[in-house]
Structure 1
Amino acid sequence: MDWEGRILKTVGLVLLIAAAGVAGLMVIEGWSFVDALYMTVITISTVGFGEVHPLSEGGKLLVIILIIFGVGAYIYIISIVAEYLVAGALIGGIGRRKMKKQIEELDRHCIVCGYGRVGSEVAIELKNGGVEVVVIEKDPERLKLCAARGYLYVEGDASSDEVLVEAGVHRARGLVSAVDSDAANVYVTLSTKSLNKDIFVVARSERADSEKKLRAAGADRVISPSGIGGRRLASQLLKPAVLEFLDVVMHSADIEIFMEEVKVKQSSVFVGMTLVEAKKKCLEDANILAVLKVDGGNMDVELSADTRIEGGDMLIVIGTRAQLRSLEGLA
């Protein structure tokens, strides 16, 4: 419902009636502007203070017309206000301001652009991982789903700088661009990186030739849902037990085993150790599976026992929450 448009039309109608009344009284009765305006206002508002000056026949007819149209305009205004309140637009406005304040207080949150099939799943996983999420979406129906599921959201185009700033892009730790179009995801990535060059951007890609463009736009990672889905379907046939194990480790709430990534500080005891030496150091802690080395924005997975760990490397580890906390203390 376009409440703003309806309210503007109503205000315009009242002003038009008032202007016609003032002009008519000035022409027909020869009154001054102030007298004509005063008489028009008290007539339209049905206050009934009496006539400013005696009216001619033409003036009386004009006043009758003003009363009819004025009362009609007031009834229309009352109906709009009543509908506005009943529909919850006023409450929605208050809620929107409250949500805007909540978003402004967030820090290190994640932004999900697009709340379709992919974006909604991303939001669920982030929320389950204990991350605050802000959704950017312009479809009213999808926004209703967002609100029903308790997500903070911003209505608008995700490629708009103003919308991204409202979603807290300057304070966010990461952004997922899951809009339905590759071209739109390129624009979202460009806008995001222009506002915050340090934010980690994961972009959705439907076509293979779009990955290069998304990378050039600044995306740190590019994910193809169709590609991942195809590989997963094939893996279910080729390696079902492995896939089942990974699903249990990554997503099951029934067991206390988690796979996480831990960044190695320059002061860590692991710096200079080989992968096998680091594993021996962690006999009672989480198990180190691999080392990820960052090279020019790209990550290389190192599994060799002789791999030397350096500050800034990322360790892929598996263990219980307590074991992971213990290992994080060493890293």
Structure 2
Amino acid sequence: MKGVLRRRWPRRISRRGSESRRRLVSGGLEPVERLVTGLAVLTAILAAGTTGYVLLGLDVLDALYQTVITVSTVGYGDPENVGGRYQLFTIVLILLGTGTSLYTIGVVIEMLFEGRLDDHVRRRRMQRSIDNLSGHSVICGYGQVGRAIATAMGDHGTEVVVIDRDPDIHSDDQLLVLGDATNDRTLRDAGVERAKSMVLALDSDVDNLYVALSARSLCPGLFIVARANSAGAVPKLHQAGANRVINPHQIGGSRMAAIALRPGVAGYFEEVLRRTDQDVRLLGHRIPEGSRFVGRPLSELQLAQQTGCGMLAIHRGGRWLNNPQGGHPLAVNDELIVLGTDEQLSLALALFESGSPPVA
């Protein structure tokens, strides 16, 4: 235990130190938030100054005029016969107003020179695009695994929204939400409530577990695929709401072994699954409740006769039935895996949907 603590302690110290330095540099707020704060304080000072001069005997327009020239340090002069209270109020207004004005101008200059204003405008434009999405996929974590997932989904025409907390990340023209995926607000900004699927590719099993719980509560029908970095995290992620849990290290090792043992077979399926320019593809279709095919033998589909596709397997209750025979009865939530060309798969999808119950 002591050895584990010694190994983890420097990493925690480094992470906290990095976050502390970031807060120290930015003052705990993003530049846009500091600009809004500065403008809000400046507006409050102008309102207070105008009110104060009105109480000291000026009319509203003269009071506003006097406040503006005082805060801006222009100072065309004071009205005649001013008293000590007027002068004292003006001194306080100059100190507060000038300091706030310089702070706000400094934030504007910082944003212009560092390009943060353009970055903020770009993020706002990107957020509007995300708000118009529906049926997309959300990827949490844009490291090596997340980038590979986003590229593969993009190749298949799926709209992808990436969530990552690194402000220096380059998203390669992906729709990006900068923030912590464990925060419900960040998930909502990514449109998780309208998404079709989510992939959890964060480095930490704890973070993946937490995001799975949050995403499942926000969107009960969301299909969640989670990354597990250890074998012990797999059942926990399933309990947290993940539909599928993948251990990249285990999958990678199995794939490498399969290629070494059966290079032809493994290479063929890798091409079919990964590349979009192949003549044949794989299609998975889940039989819904109320379908006319439920309880009927597989032969009644007449899949090969009507579409030309081949039935590879049926997935039911976590088990696979490979090369199913025509007498095998179909059940609710059976996932049929078929192989065919794009045209054949389109015919197969139409055939499957013809047996589905009508949408209310």
TM category, shorter: 0.7 to 0.9
Residue 77 of structure 1: how far off its partner (Å): 4.2
In structure 1, the residue matched to 2:296 is 272
Q: How high is the TM-score relative to the length of structure 2?
A: 0.73
The residue correspondences of 1:143-182 to structure 2 (distance < 5 A) are 145-146=170-171, 149-182=172-205
Asked if 1:325 corresponds to 2:353, the answer is no
Q: Do the aligned residues in 1 keep the contact of 2:225 with 2:244 (CA within 8 Å)?
A: yes
| Residue 18 of structure 2: aligned partner | none
Q: Report the AA paired with residue 132 of structure 1.
A: E
Deviates more, 1:80-89 or 1:69-78: 69-78
Per mean C-alpha deviation after superposition, the further-off stretch among 1-10 and 128-137 is: 1-10
Distance in structure 1 (CA, Å) of the matches to 2:173 and 2:143: 16
Q: Which amino acid aligns with 1:129?
A: H
The 1:280–1:77 alpha-carbon spacing in structure 2 relative to 1, beyond 3 Å, is: closer
1:189 to 212, 222, 227: 212
| Structure 2 equivalent of residue 96 of structure 1 | 123
CA spacing shift, 1:34–1:315, aligned 2, 3 Å: farther
Aligned equivalents of 2:332, 2:291: Cα separation in 1: 8
Once the two structures are TM-superposed, the CA of residue 76 in structure 1 deviates from its matched residue by 5.7
State which of 241, 250, 254 in structure 1 corresponds to 2:264.
241
Asked if 2 retains the 8 angstrom alpha-carbon contact of 1:268 and 1:311, the reply is no
Q: Does the CA-based 8 Å contact 1:206-1:225 persist in structure 2?
A: yes
Query: Offset of 1:48 from its aligned partner?
Result: 3.4
> Contact 1:292–1:313 (CA<8 Å) still a contact in 2?
yes
1:180-259 alignment runs, 5 A limit: 180-259=203-282
Aligned position for 1:7: 35
Does residue 310 (structure 1) correspond to residue 331 (structure 2)? The answer is: yes
Alignment correspondent of 2:75: 48
What amino acid maps onto 2:136 in structure 1?
H
Q: Displacement, 1:121?
A: 1.2
CA, structure 1 residues 108+63, in 2 after alignment: closer, same or farther (shift >3 Å)? closer
Structure 1 unaligned blocks of 5 or more: none
Asked whether the 8 Å contact 2:155–2:276 carries over to 1, the reply is no
Residues 30-70 of structure 1: CA deviation (Å, up to 9, x unaligned): x97567x875653332443421235799x999989987997
Note the residue ranges of structure 2 that are not aligned, 5 or more in a row: 1-25, 353-360
8 Å CA contact 1:285, 1:319 repeated in 2: yes
Cα 1:291/1:84, change in 2 over 3 Å:
same
Q: Residues of 1 paired with 2:163 and 2:280: CA distance?
A: 33
Residue by residue over 1:238-257, the C-alpha shift from the partner in whole angstroms, topping out at 9 and shown as x without a partner, is 11111111122122344311
1:137 to 164, 187, 210: 164
Provide, for residues 185-240 of structure 1, a one-character-per-residue CA deviation record: whole Å limited to 9, x for no partner: 11001111111221111111001011111111111111000111111121221111
Structure-2 separation of matches of 1:13 and 1:100: 28
The match for 1:281 among 302, 305, 318 is 305
TM-score normalised per structure 1: 0.79
Flag the 1:268–1:285 CA change in 2: closer, same or farther, 3 A: farther
CA RMSD of aligned residues (A): 3.9
- Distance in 2 between residues matched to 1:206 and 1:64, nearest whole Å: 63
Partner of 1:84: 111
Aligned residue-pair number: 317
Amino acid at match of 2:323: L
TM-superposed CA distance for 1:271, in Å, is 6.1
Cα distance in 2 for residues equivalent to 1:75 and 1:219: 51
CA contact (8 A) 2:156 2:276 kept: no
